Chains A and B, each alone.
Chain A
């Protein structure tokens, strides 16, 4: 059995039963998922207006909002915000990967560290993520140990716990000395300009609070009509990822503030002095106008479809254009990269559609992309 097969089988055994038991134990999650789908459809039906509303709301909270059409524009804005600052930490963001942000900042001479454990490992390995929320699931713990020994010159130990403790100690100083923290966003509330981030490690909380500047980069499709929907999205995402209840849900509306003196709200307080939200299009708005492709934009990145997909099980990150792999990746490789060939590898087994919390008819979307491939 290959390393990949061992790793993916372990991930499936650990994850799939856990998602089923979460859904069984908390029946309300399916209702929340239905509501999130409804909210996302509302936005996708008029995405330009929701982008505008979101940017206005961000401004109202004292933050800076940007809509960018391409990854190039996103990189330019990030660089402009960072300026001469050197030390950058990244909380997990697949949109940052899509925009090529880490490599770009390294090329510009910045010191950049991924702080999500999985992202940290693939940064060390110089490999693409193998799963949308478990970027290093292709590595067995044995492989992780070897990788750390090879790249950082120290043996972290054998067990999962020892490895995690080693990385925690290694990254602690990076968090404390960082000048800019860059995160993604699971959901963005149009009415308040709030971003919601769900996580378990605590790295996102630290990346978004400790450095004086917080940049959030995310796709326009992450917008939801209001904060209620956005909160629900984060909970639904964590449940279908099998990590429910989430350890942390981070809600950020603008830079830090206080109203402790005469109840006058002033900014900044202890957290970031600046908050920037970058909304990346990169094909999403166009896709939102196509009734079939629009479904792909409902994806909340729980990564559940991967574990039920035969092609992903066989190919891992080899199926899809990084960071988008698996069934959702076959759709997203087309949405953001225009790559239709990945769709051809879909077996149309249909399990992905059955387990998708947003009830995306993934085989139908992929069939459509296949048809576009043969049309030319």
Chain B
């Protein structure tokens, strides 16, 4: 477990200097954005979650090994060159974000974006339990929002939403934090799916019913079972503990996928980390990949 301490020290140090959890080419985070005004009272905030999720598994597997190398901190610049997602992966995550932006626009929401100034939310620090470090990072995140006179932040994934809400509480700020899924509706989609709930959306953020309503009213035939997709029976994908124990994280994902497959071979998710953890074990789609925006 000392490796975890070392790993999180690296993450925490990186956060305090670059506001990113690990070395990354920032174009990966903002390259998706087209024709969105910079800044504004309302911003779409990705927290780079969809984009960084692509790298999570590589780091989860690699960091325990490389932290054993003395002086590895000095070589961190190399990591952003060596650990890169495939073009297809990047394109997929960018398409999801572009679709979210399009949907927001169609809903009549005016919003801007912070491009290269958009920081990571610090969610990994919070979820791993580095509360003091998270507070520090969160303070910096909110000060960036304040610099841009942001009044409302729209998040696109559950981990960022949760991190910002916790940060809001700690920083005592009036900035409004809203989830994309609280603001949109009227989707059109088809197909037969079961649903894998994000634990955060479902049990911490009160969005379980809102998300179900969105899916059901879209035209999707949603297959559920109270023992598999119930409010308190739906299990986690295992992603949050990947930095601590990759093997256990993956066995949780496998068990979860096996349960879901009993209902349908096609699984809908609403979180990029759930997607990444489950995809090796079941056919999984982000909801944004199945909705039609035309």
A pairs with B: yes
Query: Which residues on A are within 8 Å of B, measured CB to CB?
Result: 5, 12-13, 16-17, 308, 310-311, 313-315, 341, 343-351, 353-355, 367, 369-371, 373-375
- Residue from A344, A349, A367 with most neighbouring chain B CB atoms (10 Å): A349
Contact of B255 among A314, A354, A355, A369 (CB under 8 A): A314
Cross-chain contact B227 with A17 (CB below 8 angstroms):
yes
- C-alpha gap A353/B232 in the complex (Å): 9
Cross-chain contact B231 with A311 (CB below 8 angstroms):
no
Cross-chain contact A349 with B199 (CB below 8 angstroms):
yes
Cross-chain contact B241 with A311 (CB below 8 angstroms):
yes
A355 — nearest CB in chain B belongs to which residue?
A: B232
Cross-chain contact A310 with B129 (CB below 8 angstroms):
no
**Beyond known contacts A349-B203, A374-B129: 13 more, CB 8 A cutoff:** A311-B241, A314-B251, A314-B255, A343-B129, A344-B1, A344-B129, A345-B241, A345-B248, A347-B199, A347-B241, A350-B200, A351-B234, A371-B129
Number of chain B residues whose Cβ lies closer than 8 Å to a Cβ of chain A: 34
Cross-chain contact B232 with A373 (CB below 8 angstroms):
no
A347 with B236, Cβ < 8 A, contacts A5-B255, A313-B255 known: yes
For B199, list chain A residues within 8 Å (CB).
347-351
For A314, list chain B residues within 8 Å (CB).
238, 248, 251-252, 255
Least CB distance, A340 to chain B, in whole angstroms: 9
The reply on B84 being an interface residue by CB < 8 A is no
Least CB distance, A295 to chain B, in whole angstroms: 16
A344 with B227, Cβ < 8 A, contacts A354-B232, A371-B130 known: no
- C-alpha gap A346/B128 in the complex (Å): 9
The reply on B8 being an interface residue by CB < 8 A is yes
Cross-chain contact A346 with B241 (CB below 8 angstroms):
yes
A8 — nearest CB in chain B belongs to which residue?
A: B255
For A341, list chain B residues within 8 Å (CB).
1
The reply on B235 being an interface residue by CB < 8 A is yes
Cross-chain contact A350 with B204 (CB below 8 angstroms):
yes
- C-alpha gap A16/B252 in the complex (Å): 19
- C-alpha gap A292/B236 in the complex (Å): 24
Interface string of B1-23 (1 = CB under 8 A from A): 10011001000000000000000
- C-alpha gap A133/B245 in the complex (Å): 27
The reply on B127 being an interface residue by CB < 8 A is yes
For A315, list chain B residues within 8 Å (CB).
248
Cross-chain contact A348 with B248 (CB below 8 angstroms):
no
- Residue from A17, A308, A314, A367 with most neighbouring chain B CB atoms (10 Å): A314
A310 with B256, Cβ < 8 A, contacts A343-B129, A351-B203 known: yes
Cross-chain contact B129 with A367 (CB below 8 angstroms):
yes
Q: Please give me the 3 A-B residue pairs with the lowest Cβ-Cβ distance, nearest first.
A: A370-B129, A350-B203, A349-B236
Cross-chain contact A371 with B131 (CB below 8 angstroms):
yes
Interface string of B228-269 (1 = CB under 8 A from A): 000111111011110011001001100110000000000000
A344 with B241, Cβ < 8 A, contacts A370-B128, A371-B129 known: yes
8 Å CB contacts to A: which residues of B176-209?
199-200, 202-204
Contact of B252 among A13, A310, A348, A375 (CB under 8 A): A310
- C-alpha gap A367/B5 in the complex (Å): 15
For B200, list chain A residues within 8 Å (CB).
350
Least CB distance, A374 to chain B, in whole angstroms: 5
- C-alpha gap A348/B5 in the complex (Å): 19
Contact of B236 among A310, A344, A375 (CB under 8 A): A310
B250 — nearest CB in chain A belongs to which residue?
A: A314
Least CB distance, A155 to chain B, in whole angstroms: 33
- 9 A-B pairs with C-beta separation under 8 A: A311-B248, A311-B252, A313-B252, A344-B1, A347-B241, A347-B252, A351-B203, A353-B203, A374-B5
Least CB distance, B114 to chain A, in whole angstroms: 28
Cross-chain contact A354 with B238 (CB below 8 angstroms):
no
The reply on B294 being an interface residue by CB < 8 A is no
- C-alpha gap A85/B234 in the complex (Å): 51
- C-alpha gap A311/B236 in the complex (Å): 9
Cross-chain contact B240 with A347 (CB below 8 angstroms):
yes
The reply on B132 being an interface residue by CB < 8 A is yes
Cross-chain contact B235 with A349 (CB below 8 angstroms):
yes
A310 with B5, Cβ < 8 A, contacts A351-B233, A374-B130 known: no
- C-alpha gap A5/B256 in the complex (Å): 12
- Residue from A315, A341, A371 with most neighbouring chain B CB atoms (10 Å): A371
- C-alpha gap A127/B200 in the complex (Å): 35
Cross-chain contact B8 with A374 (CB below 8 angstroms):
yes
For B1, list chain A residues within 8 Å (CB).
341, 344
A344 with B233, Cβ < 8 A, contacts A17-B227, A371-B130 known: no
8 Å CB contacts to A: which residues of B89-116?
none
For A344, list chain B residues within 8 Å (CB).
1, 4, 128-129, 241, 244
- C-alpha gap A199/B221 in the complex (Å): 45
- C-alpha gap A221/B4 in the complex (Å): 33
A346 — nearest CB in chain B belongs to which residue?
A: B241
Cross-chain contact B244 with A13 (CB below 8 angstroms):
no
For A16, list chain B residues within 8 Å (CB).
227, 233
Least CB distance, A366 to chain B, in whole angstroms: 8
- C-alpha gap A351/B240 in the complex (Å): 15
A351 — nearest CB in chain B belongs to which residue?
A: B232
- C-alpha gap A363/B240 in the complex (Å): 13
For A374, list chain B residues within 8 Å (CB).
5, 8, 128-130, 133
- Residue from B200, B231, B234, B251 with most neighbouring chain A CB atoms (10 Å): B251
For A343, list chain B residues within 8 Å (CB).
129
A348 with B127, Cβ < 8 A, contacts A314-B251, A314-B255, A355-B232 known: yes
